[in-house]
Chain A
């Protein structure tokens, strides 16, 4: 039976679609919100200089947004073949060798990213316990550090999906460099 027709596999695919939709909306919204808030803050400062002090938290909130945007975007970037890699040699390999090297890359990706996920969790848990607060937002710094394990967990998942043959970033024609 094709794996897509089994109920469990169908459920997994649906869960993946939901996750992807969440990532896409989240990164787009964060970017628009960051830009508008940061630029709006400057305009307020130029027009009402006295009100500026009340919006000092915006710079920090924008940096929080950047961290989450960057790490939440990792899975999408890998899946779409937009993580930067130098694939000129890889693209020219004979099919069998290509499969072998691709598997090696994906395997290394799973191990590397899972390890960094673990380190990220250790750090976020430590910061949470330490009770360290952000300077202007008055929330736990764990809200910032949490982005790291989430990003690497998303990458681990994507590398695992590549390894299992469910995703294929190399199959996409637009693979390549991004600046």
Chain B
């Protein structure tokens, strides 16, 4: 009875607009009063700190900081220019440029909203000028940015790795493959839409222009090489790669491109720090909440229930997809991970689902949640950075949600796509 009241309280707090830290924190604190009155006071504070004081998670502040430096500096624009010079002239060139630039920026940055903010302003006006419908352009930008969550580095995959003890390097390898499949699906839709709207491709670039774009973007391209090469050659752990990427981004933006002075560095550091604080307080209260969920034996009960239904892994993943899709429409990615993964992961394991495969299914679901109305995060970021009403963004998003669901079905039921690359790299 009290458990139902606590769940209702959480839902009510969520809907009314309480900060997520209270949505997750209030039920935890009340659960302690109701169920564990003898629990020492210290345990609560200890769990809060325990959610933050984790070596694996150290990668997140570094990747957030590096992404902000690159978005405020010139790396994002240089990467986009390079992609456009290379593929802009083919049919649907600007659409493909959008997808590929988001993938390229995703390879240096682990956050979808940061990708929308960094690239949206550069790409949207060009696409509209080339003859694409506005809502298509907005939808494409908001959804292509999801690739950033899948293509390493990915903050979502780091959090999943921490929650489940799965190798982040293996998750990154799987994420690369899944991100590419998603990008290809979007590109296929771009071809279809280009035929329909007759949008023009960019004029072909001369050899000189291409070389110039390559020269201008060469150091920016060093970034994914450093991150992925460093991790998979065994030189760096993902956390170390993240720290090195900050130093690399800082040195080329400040010393080589001179796009950032000391004053700007301090303001970028400050705004990154506030973003980091907002993400990590959820990891702190999320750790507290997970602790109570585990104490209440919710995963055990759920596992026993699902085992009793005899639905097998295919049925289970279908349920996971539906539950996470609905949750993703309303709740932010990290909160979903913190609430759902500790509950669902043990069940997935007991059904013989590979941890890396399950992680990518969860991550892809979260991606879809970010672009699904009413509350998909990317929709609001696209709307606010591009100064278009959120309704227009939503009007253009549906074909991409559909494409995404098809990809989700493929990734869910063909584990080989997620697992081939990690196995090849022998994780």
A interface residue numbers (CB < 8 A to B): 24, 27-32, 34-36, 38-40, 42-43, 46, 59, 62-63, 66-67, 69-74, 76-78, 80, 82-91, 101, 104-105, 108-109, 112, 115-116, 118-120, 122-124, 126, 144-145, 147-149, 151, 174, 176-179
Q: Are A63 and B53 in contact (CB under 8 A)?
A: yes
Residues of B within 8 A of A27 (CB): 269-270, 273-274, 277
Q: Are B61 and A31 in contact (CB under 8 A)?
A: yes
Q: Are B384 and A148 in contact (CB under 8 A)?
A: no
Residues of A within 8 A of B240 (CB): 38-39, 42
Interface SS of chain A: helix, strand, loop or mixed? Answer: helix
Instruction: Give the residue of B16, B49, B284 whose beta carbon is less than 8 angstroms from that of A90.
Output: B16
Q: How far is the CA of A62 from the CA of B59 in the complex (A)?
A: 11
Interface SS of chain B: helix, strand, loop or mixed? Answer: helix
Scan B233-245; emit 1 where CB is below 8 A from any A CB, else 0: 0011001100110
Instruction: Give the residue of B48, B62, B269 whose beta carbon is less than 8 angstroms from that of A28.
Output: B269
B interface residue numbers (CB < 8 A to A): 13-22, 25-26, 29, 41-42, 44-46, 48-49, 52-55, 57-58, 61-62, 65, 111-114, 155, 235-236, 239-240, 243-244, 246-247, 250, 265-267, 269-270, 272-282, 284, 330-333, 335, 374-375, 377, 380-381, 384
Q: Given known contacts A31-B65, A86-B331, A116-B44, is B276 in contact with A70 (CB within 8 Å)?
A: yes
Q: Are A89 and B17 in contact (CB under 8 A)?
A: yes
Q: How far is the CA of A82 from the CA of B229 in the complex (A)?
A: 34
Q: Are B270 and A144 in contact (CB under 8 A)?
A: no
Q: Given known contacts A77-B281, A87-B17, is B52 in contact with A66 (CB within 8 Å)?
A: yes
Q: Are A63 and B58 in contact (CB under 8 A)?
A: yes
Q: How far is the CA of A69 from the CA of B61 in the complex (A)?
A: 10
Residues of A within 8 A of B57 (CB): 66
Residues of B within 8 A of A122 (CB): 41-42, 45
Residues of B within 8 A of A42 (CB): 236, 240, 243-244
Residues of B within 8 A of A76 (CB): 274, 277
Residues of B within 8 A of A82 (CB): 274-275, 278
Q: Are A83 and B65 in contact (CB under 8 A)?
A: no
Q: Given known contacts A144-B53, A179-B377, is B278 in contact with A83 (CB within 8 Å)?
A: yes
Q: Are B19 and A178 in contact (CB under 8 A)?
A: no
Chain A nearest CB from B10 CB (Å) reads 12
Measured CB to CB, the nearest residue on chain B to A177 is B377
Task: Jot down 30 A-B pairs with beta carbons below 8 A, ordered by A.
Answer: A27-B273, A31-B65, A31-B269, A31-B276, A32-B265, A32-B269, A35-B243, A36-B247, A39-B243, A42-B240, A42-B244, A43-B247, A63-B55, A66-B57, A70-B284, A72-B277, A84-B278, A84-B279, A85-B18, A85-B19, A88-B375, A112-B22, A112-B26, A116-B48, A119-B41, A122-B42, A144-B53, A145-B49, A151-B281, A179-B114
Q: Are A67 and B52 in contact (CB under 8 A)?
A: yes
Q: Are B17 and A85 in contact (CB under 8 A)?
A: yes
Q: How far is the CA of A44 from the CA of B55 in the complex (A)?
A: 19
Q: Given known contacts A116-B44, A177-B332, A179-B279, is B273 in contact with A31 (CB within 8 Å)?
A: yes
